[in-house]
Structure 1
Amino acid sequence: MLKFVLDVLDRLDDPRVDGAAMVSYLDGIAGESGLTRTERVRGGQGHTDFVQVRVPGTAGRTIGGKAPTLGVIGRLGGVGARPEVTGFVSDGDGAAAAFSAAAKLLAMRARGDVLTGDVLISTHVCPDAPTCPHDPVPFMNSPVDMATMNEHEVSTEMEAVLSIDTTKGNRVINHKGLALSPTVKQGWVLRVSERLNGLLETVTGEPSVTYPVTMQDITPYGNGVHHINSILQPATATGAPVAGLAIVSAATVAGCATGASHETDIAAAARYAVEVAREFGAGALNFHDEDEFATLLARYGSMRRLQTMGEPQPSEATA
């Protein structure tokens, strides 16, 4: 996996990188075209290129099979913040992990090692994204808003979502490496999946690290409340269960910092995504307990309101 990470980082560190360049790279690994696509989307602060990769499984939905489809989303504002900052930024780790996992899965498929279920991998490429103020350190912003990002990265075909994001700009997770969130589904913060947790230990060879998720973290961006970052924003755009895999540091590191990406941590995140895809498509892993979730709904009702912007505030009504 580290070979793919180094190749991906070398490409993403190019100030001229775009979605077409990454599609060309992945098509070369796959030995065929048609499994990857890119779309340029313009926003108020520039443009970014969304890239989606489809890796068909032996019994996946693509061929009419019954194996479930995993979504892997690399979350970020941008891989660079030019001209303010020169070079690849820490915030780009989510894209690097997603592209590396895609490269590995496509290489496996080309060799004949095909997983059972389909895997959809989505992320975006922007080498000159804006930054924005955030406490305790500045965030990377994006040329497009979060609703647009979810529209192009979250698919109704995804029956569970693993969201990978750099999550270093906080004082909540004081650990270097990877950390796993509880599963989030339809506004409910559920318990950490036992099997997802166990796989993290297998991949890292260390005791698993999880992190707390607040209710406001799983509400949509733009509602005026603090979010740890965008790692669980896909949960606002799907009814499927979502888990966040955070690439973290023991010290607080800004998303727009350069020289702050650790190749081995990115590789571990990508390996984890591959292992989750392997087990989820084969029916050996669940992101949540469906019976327990049904009990929560029956006793307490829907929490889908947390997936929305909620009630308009007086300042919004008069704006």
Structure 2
Amino acid sequence: MILKTLLDVIDLLESNNPLELLKRKIPKDIEYEEKKIGEVTYVKAYYKGGGKQRIEILGRLGAIQMKENKGLVSDADGAIVSLTALLELVNLMQKGIEFDIDISIITNISLNAKLISHKPFNFMVPLIDFNDALKEEVDPKADLILSIDSTKGNIIAKYDDFALTHVIKDGYILKLDDNVIEIYNRITGHEIYFIPLTTGDLTPIDFKVYHISTLVSPWLYTNSPVIGIATVSKQVIPGYVTGVLNINMLEHASRFCLEMIKYVEKGGKVYNEEELKELEEKLGKSNLIKVKRT
């Protein structure tokens, strides 16, 4: 049951040695790597399903904790959801359920972060250069990236469950496929909640324009489509506060990631490729291509 896995992940991340506890849960069938860059620790797990497609579940965050606080911070959601998906894959493997698709799961489980200026609350980002962080986070072999990020410090996306973005591809925002919307509706039991993106959200964080979060920043480092999975809240919540984990939302988001794996394995599409072709034929390549970092 994915809820039990989620609670196990939260318990693991709240321990004084999350890396050691996580490593014990990873079987030899899954390639597992820990990479430390300065004070930032990335974990990378690769499930080799032998499929022609590869999906990345990316947990984006500054850190799971902040030194001046005790416990998991709001910003930890990306790590919680991505690692829940990872350990649920392990559970399914142990039950003899395997996938004919390659899956990479990457996240940061550092214990401290830095804050950068943003309104209404400062962003938490890793204690390394932001571009270096994204280079580590984005799997260059992934055909689709699900980017999970806590997006609670804003005044425009105030929901009581997780929200999605439309698809970001080559500088265009493309409508999310109806089948993906149906997966969302089925899991949550309610209408889809979307994150309202602006052009500024697709620019690098060093552009002096409004960014709702760094949720879709991975598109700058890949040619593959990116879907943002945002954990949100009715209240405006800074990423560095504790005591605000929404278990129901985190369970829904984790289950969505697993269902997307099944959907892509069956050949499901996340956007209409003909629409992108039409836009590029009529309008040309997006000017946002100029700011890509690949």
Q: TM-score, normalised by structure 1?
A: 0.87
Letter in 1 for 2:25: L
Q: Which residue of 1 aligns with 2:279?
A: 296
- Give the counterpart of 1:50 among 42, 60, 70: 42
On the 8 A contact 2:145/2:227 being kept in 1, the answer is: yes
> Structure 1 pair 244/309, CA: closer, same or farther in 2 (3 Å)?
closer
Task: Judge conservation of contact 2:126–2:133 (CA < 8 Å) in 1.
Answer: no
Residue in structure 2 matched with residue 74 of structure 1 by the alignment: 59
What do the CA deviations read for 1:170-194 (whole angstroms, capped 9, x no partner)? Answer: 1111211111111100111111321
- Structure 1 residue 3 displacement after superposition: 0.9
Which residue does 2:8 correspond to in 1?
7
Equivalent of 2:229, from 228, 245, 250?
A: 245
Q: Which amino acid aligns with 1:204?
A: T
- Amino acid aligned to 1:54: Y
Whole-Å Cα distance in 2 between the matches of residues 115 and 34 of structure 1? 13
1:179 corresponds to 2:163: yes
Deviations 1:115-148 (A, max 9, x none): 2211111111111223334211232232112211
Pair 1:131 & 2:115 matched: yes
Contact 1:69 1:281 in 2 (8 A): no
Letter in 1 for 2:127: P
CA–CA distance in structure 1, aligned partners of residues 285 and 21 of structure 2 = 43
Could you list the runs of 4 or more consecutive aligned residues of structure 1 that deviate by over 4 angstroms after TM superposition?
none
Contact 1:16 1:127 in 2 (8 A): no
Aligned to 2:266: 282
Check if 1:161 corresponds to 2:137.
no
Which segments of 5 or more consecutive residues in structure 1 lack a partner in the other structure?
A: 61-65, 311-319
User: Using the alignment, how far apart are the partners of 2:120 and 2:16 within structure 1?
Assistant: 28
Q: Secondary structure at the match of 2:56?
A: strand
Tell me if structure 2 keeps the 8 A contact 1:186–1:307.
no
Does the CA-based 8 Å contact 1:180-1:197 persist in structure 2?
A: no
Equivalent residue, structure 1, for 2:98: 114
Looking at structure 1, the residues matched to 30 and 176 of structure 2 have their Cα atoms a distance apart, in angstroms, of 36
Pair 1:136–1:40, CA change in 2 (3 A): same
- Percent of residue pairs identical: 27
CA distance in 1, matches of 2:290, 2:238: 27
Q: Is 2:223 the partner of 1:232? A: no
> Does the aligned pair in 1 maintain the 2:165–2:197 contact within 8 Å?
yes
**Equivalent residue letter for 1:221:** I
In structure 1, what is the equivalent of residue 33 of structure 2?
37
State the alpha-carbon separation in 1 of the partners of residues 287 and 263 from structure 2: 28
Structure 2 residues not aligned, in runs of 5+: none
In the alignment, is the contact (CA less than 8 A) between 2:153 and 2:236 conserved in 1?
yes
* Partner residue in 2 for 1:93: 77
Contact conserved, 1:188 with 1:303, CA < 8 A, in 2?
A: yes
Of 6-15 and 299-308, the range deviating more from structure 2: 299-308
| Structure 2 counterpart SS, 1:182 | strand
Query: Is this contact kept in 2: 1:26–1:36, CA < 8 A?
Result: no
Task: Give me the TM-score of the superposition, normalised by structure 2.
Answer: 0.94
Amino acid at match of 1:160: L
**Cα root mean square deviation, aligned:** 1.8
In 2 relative to 1, CA 112–158 (structure 1 residues): closer, same or farther, beyond 3 Å? same
Equivalent pairs counted in the alignment come to: 292
SS in 2 for 1:137: coil
